[in-house]
Amino acid sequence: MTLFRVAQVTAHQQVGIDVVSGMESHVITHFGRPDFDEIMKQLAKRHNGETVGTFFCGPPVLAKTLERTCRRINKKSKTKFDFFKEHF
């Protein structure tokens, strides 16, 4: 864990504010690309057999990655992810 991350976590625990966004929140800003496979697998377990709407607004490259992940998880799971994207 980097020194910045330690300071970020400590500050959040003490005052409940994310030092990156400056917002009072129960979540902390994470850097880097999300692990979509892991996130979607956890959601599939939590919503077993359900249809989950997955909405994305952002860069096309990241949209393709997320859409592929949804399709891959749909093949292996009873949970179905409907993927929707929008670009501005």
In this structure, are 46 and 27 located in the same domain? no
Close Cβ partners of 51 (under 8 Å, ≥ 6 residues apart): 79, 80, 81, 82
Whether residue 11 is found in the same domain as residue 48? no
Residue 37 is predicted with a pLDDT of 92
pLDDT band at 38 (very low <50, low <70, confident <90, very high): very high
pTM of the complete model: 0.67
**3-state secondary structure (DSSP) of residue 34:** coil
Q: Are 21 and 55 found together in one domain?
A: no
Number of domains in the chain: 2
Residues 53 and 24 in one domain: no
With a cut of 90, say whether residue 44 has pLDDT above it.
yes
42 with 24, same domain?
A: no
Measured between alpha carbons, how far is residue 34 from residues 1, 14, 39, 69 in Å? 17, 26, 8, 12
Same domain for 40 and 77, yes or no, is yes
1 pLDDT more than 80: no
Write the CA distances from 82 to 17, 26, 58, 72, integer angstroms.
33, 27, 17, 12
| pLDDT number for residue 28 | 86
Is the same domain home to 82 and 41?
Answer: yes
Q: Which domain holds residue 6?
A: 1-31
Residue 7 predicted with pLDDT over 90: no
Q: What is the pLDDT of residue 4?
A: 85
